[in-house]
Amino acid sequence: MQPPPRPGTPPSPRNPRPAPAADPAAASRPASAPAPARSRPPARLRARARPLPRPLPGSRPRSRAAAAAAVVTAVAVLLAGCSGAGGGAAAGSGGSGTGEPPLGRVAVDPPTASLTLPLDAYADSAEEARRSDLAQRRLVSRCMARFGFAYEPPARTGGTGTRAEGHRWLYGLTDPRHAAVHGYDREAGRPRPAREPAAALSDSARTVLHGQRPGETGPAGPDPRTQEEAARTDSGLVVGGLRVPAGGCLREGYRTLYAPHRDSVDLLFAFGLAAEAHTRARRDSRVVAALTRWSACLARSGYRGVASPYELPEKLGPGTDPGGPAAVAAAVRDVACKREVNLVGVWAAVETAHQHRLAERHAETLALFREQREARFRLAARLG
């Protein structure tokens, strides 16, 4: 139940990195209360995106919780460590602080399903995401119970953006077996979880859950970034003689778990760094050169003018069945050309180098992010 930028959104040609379970917002607003200096990161490193809660499955969507942050270009965000190690030649370029970072070992055709990148250390495992989802749902239920409503939020379904999802589609289609059987159909063979029906809510219960007046779609009042700030905020709504929390119980459940105080690092901070590293890697001369070789390989098979792996499915034309014969033929050549020029090995090595550089530059905030993440897991265990 973590709030995702686009819940369950798989990577796409325009969004190659899968979105993690987080719902961001616009710019953060400074809170008025001071915080202990020892836990506050420097302003230049503090996360700036303002998180918003993901609407609970089955609940009425809210306009301010529907937008995604610019960092979600999904992020996930997966396991710790270096890039997929393996054979291949070493390569290097650039210095440690400016220019293109030096590379370590360049693996030969590493499988993206098991690929790991440095910033994966800051993403949840599937089990961690499940426990956090359960904890947030229980916080919402407890909030609703204060107003006399028995409400059990449905569990999250669909993609989680966790480490378990891997980087399978980070560089487009790379699995020759999938290409030969399913082409570019990403949903082939994946189970489609059934959604729980929306609970019937009275107007009063809906007001408490969403923090909205009946018939309105926007917030009834201020929407504080943290629970610390929310404790001092008047929503302007009263139900049963009790003040409704700003943003309703959905927001309170999210803030309590993910943004309890003003120094809470944004939930998408590490994912934002990973997305930035992916963008930098895409522009790195070593990846550009590999993409040029891959594009030339495709052109020899009749697929001309393709600049990146995310474009090829679109160039097949509107209405093309992503799992049909034309898509399968293109997908097979796409993967074969990637392997011929070792596109994935080069790109993963370059992206690893850029992630290491960004992680070093933001080490202080990442350390605080990890500390707060562990505190969140402890809270989830107490609620579990």
What is the tens place of the pLDDT at every residue in 279-338? 999 999 999 999 999 999 999 999 999 999 999 999 998 889 999 999 999 999 999 999
pTM of the predicted protein model: 0.73
Domain residue ranges of the chain, discontinuous segments joined by +: 48-89+105-185+269-383
Percent of the chain residues topping a pLDDT of 90: 61
Cβ-in-10-Å burial (0-12, 13-18, 19+) of 246 comes to buried
- Type of residue numbered 212: Q
Q: Of the ranges 43-47, 110-114, 137-141, which one carries the lowest mean pLDDT score? A: 43-47
**pLDDT score of 9:** 38
What long-range pairs does 98-101 form, CB within 8 A, spacing at least 24?
Answer: 100/284, 100/285, 100/286, 100/350, 100/353, 101/353, 101/354, 101/356, 101/357
Give the rounded distance of the alpha carbon of 338 from its chain centre. Answer: 26
pLDDT tens per residue across span 208-257 = 999 998 888 777 778 899 999 999 999 999 999 999 999 999 999 999 99
Is the per-residue pLDDT at 2 higher than 70?
Answer: no
Q: How far apart are CA 379 and CA 135, in angstroms?
A: 8
Q: How far apart are CA 154 and CA 3, in angstroms?
A: 14
Cross-strand pairs, 37: none
Q: How far apart are CA 141 and CA 31, in angstroms?
A: 27
**pLDDT score of 166:** 74
> Between these two residues, 179 and 93, which has the higher pLDDT value?
179
Q: Where on the phi/psi map is residue 27: left (φ > 0), alpha (ψ -120 to 50), or beta?
A: beta
